[in-house]
Structure 1
Amino acid sequence: MESRPLLNEKLTTMTEEVEVDVKKKSGKKWLMNTCWTAIGFSVGMFLTLYVVKDTPNPSIPPLQRRQTPNLYSGNTILASDSSPILNSPQWRCVPPPPPFLLDDPRVIQHPAVKLALAQLELTLKADTFSSKDALSISIVHSSKGKIYEFHHGRKRLNESAHVSPAKVDGNSIYRIASVSKVFAVLEALVLSRQAQLKKFVPELTLESRLQDVLPEFKLPRKFKDEAGDITLGQLGSHRAGIGRDMGEMIINSTADIIWPPVPGQDTFIEKYYQHNTSPRELLNTVSKNDLIWQVGETPSYSNTGFSILGLATGNYRKKLKKETKSWASSIKKDIFDPLNMGHTFAGAIPCALRKDIVTPNSRNMVDLTVPAVHDPAGGIFSTTNDLATFLRKILLSRSPLLISPSQRLNWLRSIHYNTDAITSVGIPWESYRAIMPDYAAYNIYFKGGGLPGQLSQISAFPEFGYGVTVLTSLGSTDSELVAGAATTDPLALSFTIHNTLAPAIWKAYNSIVTDDYVGTYTSPDGIARIAFENEILTLKELKIHGVDALSKADQLIWRQGGKQVSIFGYGAGLIGTGFEGKFRAAPLFTCVWSGFDIATTKSGWGLDLFVFKKVNGKMTLFYEPMRGKLVKQ
């Protein structure tokens, strides 16, 4: 085993090797890029990892930390032009990278990204070299697929290394527990898409009312109105008001909670999943229990709600496809098979895959076949290879499989923002706020799972085109865990990965935008200048046939309320759209919805639309309102 000093020395060596390799390829240009990469990487890491120095709990992962607020000023909304917030670099609506660049392979080849992956390799080795746990990690990018993987430990942790020396790899199978909920929601989206293409009615959406899809669902009489309000999306975001595990963990008093756990007497393990083993039993239990929250009031984690969601989508699927299948068989046919996720399944472990199962050393549920009704809440097994495929083809690709791009955009949204200004809840995402080096704030979409002995996390950063999977299996015995043995935390590891990789990918995208679009564009009739200022692609000047386009944009606004300050005197921000080469212009330091497409040409070309294409190898700007075609010099 290697000590941390030796690993740190390796990191330095690896960093130097990466630098030498790139330097040989790029010469002097490399030197300048490397300097800016080092500066940008350091600044990015500082800003992303460190948002507050006064965090009371040092165990909180850096991504969760936030700046300690100043004393309340009395102004809830600071809207004055003299506001320190409006005049600070933090207050800017910096756009994400143009979506059409997410598939650009230059991102992964950028020196900052190579350096970040090299650092991750050594950091992960340092953090796990003495761990007894099994660990599998994959990182996937939309441009290439899997760009990095890391594996540590053995498959059979409950056996000696002599008897079972096989190491975990990308095909090693872990129980992913509540990450199953992502696929429960995806099944609803897939059925919705299939019904739409077949023009099948009634339609199914996340806004569909539960009782319209599953008429058997009932609540106690006093909640009759609430029962009719619950939607599939509220089940998927834990906002249906339904209890967490209805009828599963029955205790007489808190004295029934035994510590340390005693095998055979532990209500929370041995007796779990012994109730509500059929749809009828589950629905009967729910019909007799009060809601714990008003419908839509607040997210409150509910495994029972996801079991009901699975019953609802199964009921709809039976009508859509005129066939009766278990939920496990349905998602295999609808999701796993089309995505070639050959090592992912719900239900009993297939004999052919038992050799790939990772078994913890502590008490676990690996061999437990969960009652089918609970599969949507936590019954799936999977691998880092399969989950990498899912992340890329469904959550990150410009053209997702199985669902439409608009479905995906609606799916990757937070539904409820918590008052900590850090976390939020989606369907079924558990999101964290990430502050990038340009102060832009994004959600990174996580979903975690945990059953005794195994823990899992998947996460996606769609605006920057990458995702992460971390699967772990405990190598300590029960007695060691009771005594406080350290365990691998997949959420903390995910934070480490994002905190290292996100600033590097941010740097790579900015470099590509600069290389592709920044410069002077000319034609016999005019000129355009585009700069990259304050991390925003900026149209600084556009004059064609003697007409100043930015002045005309100001005049268009003044027509509504008289002459005011010049909105576009310092330029217009160019915001990349989901359409290849198309940008929409907006006032600087405001958000994209403030574009100036209030007027269009007869063909419908808005004044805010700028199109870039390569013509004869040169980037060319097209702007129809001024009949402009300008070539980058």
Structure 2
Amino acid sequence: MPIISSKLKDGRFDEPGFQTRLLSCESRSQRGYQTMESRPLLDEKLVMMEGEAVDVDAKKRKKQNWLMNSYWTAVGFSVGIFLTLYVSRGIPTSSTASLSKRQTPASYEGSTILASGNDLSVAAPQWRCVPPPPPFLLEDPRVVQHPSVKLALAQLELTLKADTLSSKDALSISIVHASKGKIYEFHNGRKRLNESSFASPARVNGNSIYRIASVSKVFAVLEALVLGRQAQRRKFVPELTLESRLQDVLPEFKLPLEFKDEAGDITLGQLGSHRAGLGRDMGEMVFNSTADIIWPPVPGQDTFIEKYYKHNTSPQELLTTVSKNDLIWQVGETPSYSNTGFSILGLATGNYRKKLKKQSKSWASSIDEDILNPLQMDSTFAGAIPRNLRKDLVIPNSRHMVDLTVPAVHDPAGGIFSTSNDLAKFLHKVLLSRKPCLISNSQRLNWLRSIHYNTDAITSVGIPWESYRAIMPDYAAYNIYFKGGGLPGQFSQISTFPEFGYGVTVLTSVGSTDQELLAGAATTDPLTLSFTIHNTIAPAIWKAYTDIVTADYAGTYISSDGIAHIAFENGFLTLKELTLHGSNILEKADQLIWRQGGRQTSIFGWGAGLIGTGIPGRFRAAPLFTCVWSGFDIVTTKSGWGLDLFVFKKVNGKMTLFYEPMRGKLVKQ
């Protein structure tokens, strides 16, 4: 078990008042949580309902049709189509209309919000509120063994080999799934791109170290979440959250007198989502006139590179610089990328940590203790390059900053080095596992959210995510959460698709010389590669989940005095019929609605969608043509079981449906 803290003794912090047991992430997953089989789904009343199940061998699963899998994988190239359109539309052309000449599209019918009205006999629109897979299935090992996923990974391998055949760049890719961690990796190129292949033939691998630049911002936000979790366990007040006001945590933060009130409004979350109104790199890159922009660049005269990180090298200098400069946006108005904001965020979490743990450490040392060691990210660091890791550094052939030691105050904005293996551990253990390491599940759910939606309806900003909209084969729309980073010579992207339980890491290093780049040489774009990966993998994983949900839950369930029929159709696990003791449950749900306004159109005549709650085996029923946000648990049994709650559990190898309002226990045939 890794050492989490230098002050950890016998599993406890040697500090007064702190008695919470700290375990490694591995120990937590093994010891801290019960499996679905061992955890009671409800109280003893459910156990009483179970009784003896019919001991019948489960039916053999139908063989997968290879042609169908190929079809769905092909459909995969439509996922993220808006992403591709967004990239291509962003390039202005001579035919692009100016803003002043924008016209109403010919297809616009005058209604901003389109609804089909109350007549549910009208066919459902193509764009529906289709639910994601039940969260408790995200770690199902059958997903990565599914033929569609295996085929997609094989196709991706061919695509990547073809695309990198003549590339000079170094590249490291990892794909991670919640069920087992890393499920795929691809590496291409050499470590020492600035040396000849004869002198330095060593190839990159999963342990090769790249500077991940602004991906560091993810860890700056994570440190705030981790400290908030630790404070909660210690009952330390005030607790730290992303809603905490910056000046409450870092009283030294000031703005010019004109913005005194705004300074008091800024929260840590606004710093993390670039909505604090602060400039991008305040005081870092200063020029006298546009004549200082030299093209082509001349080493030693390029103001914007050679003088980068020459200022604000101490916390006090940074705070002084910020205190003398106006806001560039109203606080909370819009995201405006700010490295300065993340440097301030690092100072704030450092100040809080000093009070919480009564120790003063650099931000680099703090995340090493709080994040990197517990996650066993052994080749990830900020600050000076450790001597024992120098052999694993990837060195670009162009001008670069790999050997630049960033002033410690700027480490939260872009000072971290890492590997594809280490970032895969982070994605798996923190962002994808059902029980995340270091933070609570509710913290993670709040973290993986978009805060500001851009009007293109495709991109959005989170804390600190740069999200893109993706459309799945069932036309459900999701956000894929990205964070990119780049400094001269190296570029990186991490991304996660939480609703489908996987994530991607792409790290690149430039193999061309400066002269070749000035002449127009292409470089490997990690964002474009990430799009390619998601467009290939996402629909395959969607198909795997669809098949698993169908195999596990769809079918006919019977008991001595009841029957239920569940189908998977139109993207929904749908309860088509449930009759118990001669009572039609779907009709009863309609009648509950009619009691409030008289007889109306039947809402549940076509069935009810069964939506996974995130709690193993529990589903809530909802109308098929609406998004889920209001259930029927306003009507419950005396035990608290809502009218809309359906519980599934395997008993003696057979999937069994429990419905307590009618004392129902039905077994799948």
- Normalising by structure 1, we get a TM-score of 0.92
Aligned match of 2:145: 109
Matched, 1:423 2:455: no
Matched, 1:182 2:218: yes
Aligned match of 1:387: 423
Report sequence identity in percent: 81
Tell me the matched-pair count.
600
SS at match of 2:316: helix
| Aligned positions of 1:44-193 closer than 5 A | 44-46=76-78, 48-49=80-81, 57=89, 71-81=107-117, 87-193=123-229
Distance 1:486 1:610 in 2: 55
SS at match of 2:305: coil
Contact 2:76–2:537 (8 Å) recurs in 1: no
Matched, 1:288 2:324: yes
Contact 2:490–2:509 (8 Å) recurs in 1: yes
SS at match of 2:304: coil
The one-character-per-residue Cα deviations of 1:562-618 (angstroms, maximum 9, x if unpaired) are: 000000011000001111111111001211113222200101011111000000000
Distance 1:534 1:514 in 2: 12
SS at match of 2:649: strand
Matched, 1:526 2:562: yes
Distance 2:657 2:620 in 1: 13
Distance 2:164 2:618 in 1: 45
The one-character-per-residue Cα deviations of 1:63-110 (angstroms, maximum 9, x if unpaired) are: xxxxx97632211222342999x8454231100000000000000001
SS at match of 1:631: strand
Contact 1:425–1:431 (8 Å) recurs in 2: yes
Distance 2:342 2:628 in 1: 36
Give the alignment partner of residue 614 of structure 2, picking from 563, 578, 600.
578
The one-character-per-residue Cα deviations of 1:513-542 (angstroms, maximum 9, x if unpaired) are: 000000000010101000001010000000
SS at match of 1:274: coil
Contact 1:526–1:544 (8 Å) recurs in 2: yes
Contact 1:187–1:334 (8 Å) recurs in 2: yes
Aligned match of 1:238: 274
**Once the 2 structures are TM-superposed, how far is the Cα of residue 44 of structure 1 from its aligned partner?**
3.6
Distance 1:82 1:403 in 2: 44
Aligned match of 2:49: none
Distance 1:55 1:228 in 2: 38
**Once the 2 structures are TM-superposed, how far is the Cα of residue 363 of structure 1 from its aligned partner?**
0.6
Give the alignment partner of residue 466 of structure 1, picking from 482, 494, 502.
502
SS at match of 1:268: helix
Distance 2:364 2:84 in 1: 45
Distance 1:351 1:362 in 2: 23
Letter in 1 for 2:65: N
Distance 2:450 2:269 in 1: 12
Aligned match of 1:549: 585
**Once the 2 structures are TM-superposed, how far is the Cα of residue 199 of structure 1 from its aligned partner?**
0.3
Contact 2:566–2:576 (8 Å) recurs in 1: yes
Distance 1:55 1:213 in 2: 39
Letter in 2 for 1:46: S
Contact 2:86–2:458 (8 Å) recurs in 1: no
SS at match of 1:269: helix
**Once the 2 structures are TM-superposed, how far is the Cα of residue 397 of structure 1 from its aligned partner?**
0.5
Distance 1:536 1:163 in 2: 58
Unaligned runs of 5+ in 1: 1-25, 61-67
Give the alignment partner of residue 350 of structure 2, picking from 289, 314, 326.
314
SS at match of 1:592: coil
Distance 2:312 2:68 in 1: 59
Unaligned runs of 5+ in 2: 1-58, 93-103
Aligned match of 1:591: 627
Contact 1:587–1:594 (8 Å) recurs in 2: no
Letter in 1 for 2:78: F
The one-character-per-residue Cα deviations of 1:177-223 (angstroms, maximum 9, x if unpaired) are: 00000000000000000000000001110000000000000000000
Aligned match of 1:405: 441
**Once the 2 structures are TM-superposed, how far is the Cα of residue 56 of structure 1 from its aligned partner?**
5.9
| Aligned positions of 1:207-246 closer than 5 A | 207-246=243-282
Bigger Cα displacement from structure 2, 592-601 vs 381-390: 592-601
Distance 2:569 2:340 in 1: 51
Letter in 2 for 1:114: K
SS at match of 2:629: helix
Instruction: Call closer, same or farther: CA 1:51–1:385 in 2, change over 3 Å.
Output: closer
Aligned match of 2:333: 297
Distance 2:398 2:84 in 1: 37
Aligned match of 2:292: 256
* Larger relative contact order, structure 1 or 2 (CA cutoff 8 Å, min sep 6): 2
RMSD: 2.0
Matched, 1:481 2:498: no
Letter in 1 for 2:567: A
Distance 2:124 2:638 in 1: 41
Distance 1:153 1:400 in 2: 34
Letter in 2 for 1:302: S
